[in-house]
Amino acid sequence: MSKIKVMDELLANKIAAGEVVEKCASVVKELVENSIDAGSKEIKVELKDSGVAEIKVTDDGSGMDKVDALACFSRHATSKIVDEEDLYHINTLGFRGEALASIASVSKVDLKTSMGDVGTHIVINGGKVITNEPCEARKGTIMTVSELFYNTPARLKHLRSLNTELANITDYMNKLAMAHPEIKFILKNNDNTILNTVGDSNLLKVIGNVYGMNIVKKMEYIAGETDDYKVTGYMSLPEITRGTRNVMTTIVNGRVVRNQELLKTINDSYHSYKHETRYPVVVLNIELDPSLVDVNIHPTKMDVKFGKLEELNELIGNLIQKKLRELTLIPEIKEEVEYKKEDKNYEEIVLSIDRLWSENKKEGLIDFSKKEEKKEIKEEKKEEKIKEELPDLYPVGVVHGTYIICQNEKGMYLIDQHAAKERINYEKFKVEMGKPSKDKIYPIFPYVIELSASEAIIMRERMDILREIGFEVEEIGINSIVIKAHPTWLIKDYEEEQIRKIVEIVLETKDFSIEKFRESAATMMSCKQAIKANEYISPEEVEKVLDDLRHCNNPFNCPHGRPTIIFYSNYDLEKLFKRTGFEI
């Protein structure tokens, strides 16, 4: 007797739900993306108990007729693609035709929808149709999902706490709002409003809704394109970072996506401008031909693969690095202000954002419309922002042998002498490793470094890297190398320690490149030779530090990303001492 049978459709839907419906946020994602595909201008998401009890999504989109209203709950039923060719030119957020069938199989669903004439009301419990009848003719769709996983208790037990479920939903809605600033989004939980955007295509306003107005003031606009990619968006100043990479948002043709290589490119572009464990706030909108991206590698459609990824990484990296080079990155110490809607300052900030948006729109620098045909951006006169060098500073003292105090007509500056010297050394070592001298030092006793078998294999491939920067190195024995000579720029008395560290960098660096190697080695050595904290230096040495720092390509951060200098304006100093508003 045969054992293999075609499983019941309801059972198949429950199995599919295990991939498509992981948590409450998964349901919100699928429903809201359907609303976007329907051309909605306003989408409201109302939750009860973080979505565990109920998720209600109301939109003003195109709606469905009575046939489609029932058919949309069938497995593999979709209006987005017709044949295999469509799979390679996807212009919608949804297309798989699995989500609604999966959701309906593990919850209770109430649908009211209309195209503007007679509406349709459908109720489905656990995949079974309970009600199918006419209803009022409000154009758009109202989808209510309640008692998620009520008939699959094992899945219900694995839902997180209410706060965690709400955090996941809020995070995705925030990102979706940034991906579609032209749509008004409202998110409520138990009648408490969490997100409420305007829907006027102003991305800066949405960033303000998500991260706060203080962050908006620290965001910089970037834009660029190649033959295949167009990238626009905002990046934070290096002083604005967070402890999670989740603040780096990438959007592809209106779809919020995850691609680890893209996130790594964004983060690496801030290298030496911030600490390696911190991440910048970035929102990037990437436009490309749909044939260059594959969104069909996971049921959630968030993980994607790009064609010509190297070209995209290079474009993004160059845009961010160019902007960082243009900026003067001296953090200004100000009293923190929380902007509230009733505050005058809040209105000023919003007006300034509107003004900036209008100016950029007028110059053709911003275009987030998805319905307009692609047009070439004609740039008339575009002034490059010239990098502002470190201002003239006049030293007046040193505090605790650590901080150099300087002044000029603008205010007071504090310079971390260790961080400043690290930056100076870092740029010096990078140059020396890039243009190595033929001069070498031959120690009386060569340095022998033992390796594991796997390390020895890697080292054989990368031995020329060490030779290129001035080392004389050979294999010795089975799994060892001998350093017979080293370049003159190694720090005296730390030669062996630095050689071993450089060998470690060569062995451990993933996606190895000579540029990454020089970065890592220069960072390591710059710290060793820097002035330490609590080490008093002479006035002449202070002047030398300031002069050397002034000639650095980036005088504002040490190689680890810490600031070398911070600024107190005259106004801020007076404010600290309550002198503002008083006549002396």
Tens-place pLDDT, residues 334-371: 655 555 555 555 555 555 656 555 555 544 444 544 44
Q: 419 or 156, which is more confident?
A: 419
Q: Model confidence over 315-335: pLDDT tens digits?
A: 999 999 999 888 866 776 665
pLDDT at 195: 94
- Same domain, yes or no, for 38 and 135? yes
Domain count, the chain: 3
The stretch 456-461 carries a mean pLDDT of: 87
Residue with the two structure tokens 């094992």: 154
| Cα(560)–Cα(278) distance, integer angstroms | 11
The string of DSSP letters for 89-137 reads S--SS--SS-HHHHHHHTSEEEEEEESSSSEEEEEEETTEEEEEEEE--
Domain CATH for 58: 3.30.565.10
pLDDT at 513: 66
- Same domain, yes or no, for 326 and 440? no
CB atoms under 10 Å from CB of 379, counted, come to: 10
- Same domain, yes or no, for 309 and 227? yes
The stretch 452-472 carries a mean pLDDT of: 87
- Same domain, yes or no, for 308 and 448? no
For residue 247, name the pLDDT band (cuts at 50, 70, 90).
very high
The stretch 81-109 carries a mean pLDDT of: 65
Among the candidates 332, 363, 384, a domain finishes at 332
Q: Which range among 73-77, 231-235, 369-373, 484-488 has the greatest average pLDDT?
A: 231-235
| Cα(25)–Cα(39) distance, integer angstroms | 21
| Phi, psi torsion values for 531, nearest 5 degrees | -65, 135
| Cα(181)–Cα(476) distance, integer angstroms | 63
The stretch 71-100 carries a mean pLDDT of: 59
Among the candidates 131, 159, 187, a domain finishes at 159
For the cut 60, the answer to whether the pLDDT of residue 567 exceeds it is yes
- Same domain, yes or no, for 28 and 134? yes
For residue 280, name the pLDDT band (cuts at 50, 70, 90).
very high
For the cut 50, the answer to whether the pLDDT of residue 584 exceeds it is no
Across the chain, mean pLDDT equals 80
DSSP helix/strand/coil, 254: coil
Residue 415 Ramachandran class (φ > 0 left, ψ -120 to 50 alpha, else beta): beta
CA atoms within 13 A on the CB side of 244: 4
For the cut 80, the answer to whether the pLDDT of residue 297 exceeds it is no
- Same domain, yes or no, for 118 and 230? no
Q: 432 or 6, which is more confident?
A: 432
Residue with the two structure tokens 């995209």: 312
Report if residue 182 sits inside a domain.
no
- Same domain, yes or no, for 237 and 318? yes
Q: Which helix (H) or strand (E) holds 403?
A: strand 403-408
pTM for the model stands at 0.69
Report if residue 256 sits inside a domain.
yes
For the cut 60, the answer to whether the pLDDT of residue 135 exceeds it is yes
* Domain residue limits at 123: 9-159
| Cα(231)–Cα(251) distance, integer angstroms | 10
pLDDT at 75: 66
Report if residue 360 sits inside a domain.
no
- Same domain, yes or no, for 29 and 111? yes
Q: Model confidence over 80-89: pLDDT tens digits?
A: 444 445 444 4
For residue 40, name the pLDDT band (cuts at 50, 70, 90).
very high
The stretch 428-439 carries a mean pLDDT of: 76
For residue 296, name the pLDDT band (cuts at 50, 70, 90).
low
pLDDT at 346: 55
- Same domain, yes or no, for 421 and 527? yes
The stretch 141-161 carries a mean pLDDT of: 83
CA atoms within 13 A on the CB side of 80: 21
- Same domain, yes or no, for 100 and 246? no
Report if residue 54 sits inside a domain.
yes
Report if residue 237 sits inside a domain.
yes
| Cα(556)–Cα(282) distance, integer angstroms | 20
- Same domain, yes or no, for 48 and 149? yes
| Cα(206)–Cα(221) distance, integer angstroms | 14
Return the amino acid letter for 248.
Answer: M
- Same domain, yes or no, for 323 and 409? no
Report if residue 260 sits inside a domain.
yes
Domain CATH for 229: 3.30.230.10
Report if residue 380 sits inside a domain.
no
E strands along 259-327, which residues? 279-280, 282-288, 293-294, 305-306
Report if residue 358 sits inside a domain.
no
Domain CATH for 544: 3.30.1370.100
Q: 189 or 259, which is more confident?
A: 189
pLDDT at 284: 96
For residue 300, name the pLDDT band (cuts at 50, 70, 90).
low
For the cut 90, the answer to whether the pLDDT of residue 15 exceeds it is no
Nearest alpha carbon to residue 36 among 121, 94, 120? 94
pLDDT at 205: 93
Q: Model confidence over 382-428: pLDDT tens digits?
A: 333 334 467 889 999 999 888 999 999 999 999 999 889 888 888 88
